[in-house]
Every structure is written in structure tokens, then in C-alpha cells.
A and B are shown apart, each in its own frame.
Chain A
Amino acid sequence: DAGVIQSPRHEVTEMGQEVTLRCKPISGHNSLFWYRQTMMRGLELLIYFNNNVPIDDSGMPEDRFSAKMPNASFSTLKIQPSEPRDSAVYFCASTGWQGPDSGANVLTFGAGSRLTVL
């Protein structure tokens, strides 16, 4: 298995531009998570999907952020317009959650997308 695949690995853009980050979860995993990591705030959950349906987006900073999962093998996180404070590493992670009694539910992370907004 190729693991969780994210693109791009690095993106440098200017304030006001649209940014789209992409994620392909592990085949067979039915839950997908988007996290943001900064030195100041650590690893923050932005949104997660279960069976392609957004379950909790309370971590999305504001309306400038949106996420979609049109099918089981693809998700996007979009920032429009981007701002310098959005600079961070964005991680996508997936897991094959089968229910509360299914045992270990290991979250597997992609390599991350490092975003710099100038």
C-alpha cells in the first residue's frame, strides 16, 4: 500500500491567492482527517469525514477554509483567499474505523503539505 498520499508537498503563494491541497487516503479506509500543525498551536483537527460525509468541521478556522470528499479515494482542502497566518503544515490522515468496539483505530498520516503564504 502506498499509504496516504498528499500533494503538493510544498507550496509558496502570495496573500489573497487560492490554495488547494489534495489527499488520497489508504484504500479501504473510511475515515479521513485534515490537520494543521504549527509551532504555536501544535496539531489541530480541522475537519474529518466518515464514509465521505463531513462529520465535524468545527475546527475549520473560518469561511475561507473549505473541504470536500467527492469519493472514497480523494479529498481536497481549499483556502480562499489565503493569508500569511495560514502558513503551516497541513496533514491528511485516514483510518478504517469500524465502530466503537472495533479495537485499535490507528490513524495513518500522509507526508504533509507545507504551505507558506507571503
Chain B
Amino acid sequence: GQNIDQPTEMTATEGAIVQINCTYQTSGFNGLFWYQQHAGEAPTFLSYNVLDGLEEKGRFSSFLSRSKGYSYLLLKELQMKDSASYLCAVDNYGQNFVFGPGTRLSVLP
């Protein structure tokens, strides 16, 4: 079966660091993606991990542990515009993308 879990909501303060976790159990695995979705908009690509370890991209970093079925997205120097939903998604060998339920992040001043 396919199962992806994320916390439903998180709150953090402007300028802080927040870590959004994702655990997964899927039938196939070709990589894990993180997408950002602002209210009323489409998801947009943030990061991709296929090998274990940390991928850094500016204020955003993503970590993957394939053996543990675990990933996290790290957001540094939070800004108000980072308030959005963050979805992790598993690429099942390019033939299927399974999305998690999403984590709604609220950044407070």
C-alpha cells in the first residue's frame, strides 16, 4: 500500500527555523519531492531527494533517509510569505506521484 504522513499544521515566528517532517511507506521509490502550495494556487516544486542526505537550496533544505522512510524540509529565516502548505510526494518510478496530506505552516510576526 501507499501511506505518507505529515503533521497537519505548524506555527512558527518570522525569522525562526522550522522543520516539517514526512514519513512514507510506498510500493516503489524513485525520489521524494517537496512542493509548496499557497492558498488558492497550484503546488510548485521546491526540492528533490533521491539519495540519502541533505540537499540545500538557499533558505530551504531537504533531508532524506531511505532506510527509515523519512524526510524533512527545513526552512530557515522564515518570512511571512512562507505561510503556505507544504506537501511531500513520492515518485513511484516516474509512473505515479503519491502526495502526502500536506502541512499548513503559519508564520507569525
Asked whether A50 is an interface residue with its Cβ less than 8 Å from the other chain, the reply is yes
Say which one of A11-19, A71-79, A104-112 lies at the interface with B. Answer: A104-112
Once A104-B31, A106-B48, A109-B44 are accepted as A-B contacts, the answer to whether A31 and B99 lie under 8 Å apart by CB is: no
Report how many residues on chain B are interfacial, defined by Cβ distance under 8 Å: 23
A residues near B45, Cβ cutoff 8 Å? 106-108
Once A104-B50, A106-B48 are accepted as A-B contacts, the answer to whether A45 and B97 lie under 8 Å apart by CB is: yes
A contact residues vs B (CB 8 Å cutoff): 31, 33, 35, 42-43, 45, 48, 50, 55-56, 91, 93, 95, 97-100, 102-112
Task: A45-B98, A111-B42 given; name 9 further pairs at CB < 8 Å.
Answer: A33-B97, A43-B99, A45-B99, A91-B43, A104-B50, A105-B91, A106-B33, A107-B97, A109-B44
Q: How many whole Å from B13's CB to the nearest CB in chain A?
A: 26
Give the complex CA separation of A106 and B21 in angstroms. 20
Q: Are A43 and B43 in contact (CB under 8 A)?
A: yes
